[in-house]
A and B are shown apart, each in its own frame.
Chain A
């Protein structure tokens, strides 16, 4: 406990003991919880991915030679009519959506709020609505609007767009794209707080100097603001991408997995409802693949993002 200087000589040892006791009491349960629910559950998932399941029961002991489930994940194109490879592609397709569309748009909006553009207070409140309102509400309203008789569908029909039978969420060719549009629509909201807050810490003097040098707002945004809040952007991007692998709610609420809209998270979620089902071995294997591939991707993306700009002291 070096950070807390001792006040009296001779009480150092007893104070140190009291500090150790206090720290132990505070961190004991969180560590135990992590060991049970993160280490324990993920180890169980890993071990069971190498065991065969028959009738909802695991038949044999764990051995690395028993990798049937892993092979089935790659070989079998279909699990309970949920197209498997398509689910992987769908989950991966959300990554560019987050990195190339949602985060840049959120950054632009945060910058406009930071620079106090006209009506910035109004925008600060209204753009945050999707975070305050439940995804269930957003999904239900969106579902009705783009459904077979929804007003967006009717409007697009009137202006000559090709409207599929059953609406945009009821067609194999359009359902997934419609879900992606929904994700862009609702996805810019949450991180607005973090980006605005990070930009708010940039010294006015820095912006002032750039103005004197004649830098345009766009130039300042690209060359000053983004590099200065880069650690925040990196953190948000990594946590956002990590969440993508468990992303299932829009699929669950908008199409219930129909019309080729399945994702990895949705497959796990659906099968988790029936933890004695026959698909468990496959789900465990998928879980292992998601964790391994996801972790590798996370750390590669983290390294890549960190290589752009180092931490800026200001």
Chain B
């Protein structure tokens, strides 16, 4: 380390009182937020193992397991898994339990991830590396879709999906999710723009066509961003409430299903069962986040940040 940098580091370490006050204030704020999230999570896990009587007597006492035996510790989880949501579609009864809801969530995640890996990277790549007539139109479309609040178009969209007979089918998810023009294109476009065009020229000299160049040379170089956006897409889709609520009314995912479990839990005065379902739902995204948090943190940036 050079003398200059060492001296600077020493000066940086000698913090002034104003820095200390600033640090303390920000740290206190972060601590309050952090502990509220941790407490919420601990409360959820702890309550999911308590009996309803114990919980109703004192909600906050998270270590009160009075009347609880080890053999009955997982009763709330058993009840959550044995819960069945029932409805009727075209005069036929439909029953979906928590396993079915988890399966529906996985199907939804699979479809959305498949589309997230196909469309935005490809559009981002051609936006970054090719000049073509509709480039400005695509940029305008992305800006419009990000900036103009079009919540009102939900009604005609539902009517359209209804009219082509795709509502309550997985095809509606594929059709609606396959657009590709959005924030993802901007992220990929910026990423591919930073990769030298020499790679494309070299692959052409070796006889590769455009598709081969993209799939074999350029796409693998974007894998860090692909992984990060896939993880974010997984979390977003798994937690998505409104899309399955509107377009998959007879295939409840775990996000919409916990609403039904929560309603049953309220009726039965058995909130611990709801907490068990909530924890089951959360555990999937938490595991994924724990595995990929570093990749997410290092790959995301938006807004034309120069660096």
Contact = CB atoms under 8 A, between A and B. Distances in A.
B152 A126 contact: no
B57 to A, nearest CB: 11
Interface string A279-301: 01001101110110011001100
Interface residues of A, number: 120
A129 B180 CA distance: 27
Contact of B285 (A22, A134, A208, A269): A134
A207 to B, nearest CB: 9
A133 B152 contact: no
Interface residues of B, number: 102
Nearest to B123: A30
A137 B129 contact: no
Query: How would you classify the secondary structure of chain B's contact residues: helix, strand, loop or mixed?
Result: helix
Interface string B52-66: 000010011000000
B116 to A, nearest CB: 13
Given A141-B40, A235-B302, A287-B153, A136 B259 contact: yes
A31 B38 CA distance: 44
Given A19-B130, A33-B181, A131 B122 contact: no
Interface stretch (A76-84, A160-168, A238-246): A238-246
A71 interface: no
Contact of B34 (A126, A135, A196): A126
Interface in B227-286: 235, 238-239, 241-242, 246, 255, 258-259, 262, 271, 274, 278, 281-282, 285-286
A295 B131 CA distance: 29
A154 B58 CA distance: 10
Contact of B36 (A44, A185, A235, A299): A185
A136 B239 contact: yes
A287 B160 CA distance: 17
B38 A313 contact: no
Interface stretch (B74-82, B84-92, B93-101, B200-208): B200-208
A311 B306 contact: yes
A45 B156 contact: yes
Nearest to A5: B201
Contact of B239 (A3, A4, A135): A135
A314 interface: yes
B24 to A, nearest CB: 10
Given A131-B235, A242-B146, A41 B122 contact: no
A144 B43 CA distance: 11
Given A4-B130, A298-B149, 12 more contacts: A23-B126, A26-B122, A40-B160, A117-B27, A125-B293, A127-B37, A145-B43, A198-B302, A212-B8, A231-B304, A280-B155, A283-B155
Interface of A: 1-5, 7, 15, 18-23, 26-27, 29-31, 33-34, 37-38, 40-42, 44-45, 48, 105, 108-109, 111-112, 117-119, 122-138, 140-142, 144-145, 149-151, 154-155, 185, 188, 193-194, 196-198, 201-202, 208, 211-212, 216-218, 229, 231-236, 238-239, 242-246, 248-249, 253, 264-265, 268-269, 271-273, 275, 280, 283-284, 286-288, 290-291, 294-295, 298-299, 302, 311-314
Interface of B: 5, 8, 11-12, 16, 18-19, 22-23, 26-27, 29-30, 33-34, 36-38, 40-41, 43-44, 56, 59-60, 119, 122-123, 125-126, 129-132, 134, 137-138, 141, 144-160, 162, 176, 178-181, 183, 197, 200-201, 204-205, 209-211, 214, 235, 238-239, 241-242, 246, 255, 258-259, 262, 271, 274, 278, 281-282, 285-286, 289, 293, 296-307
7 contacts: A1-B131, A19-B210, A30-B179, A217-B23, A235-B304, A238-B147, A294-B149
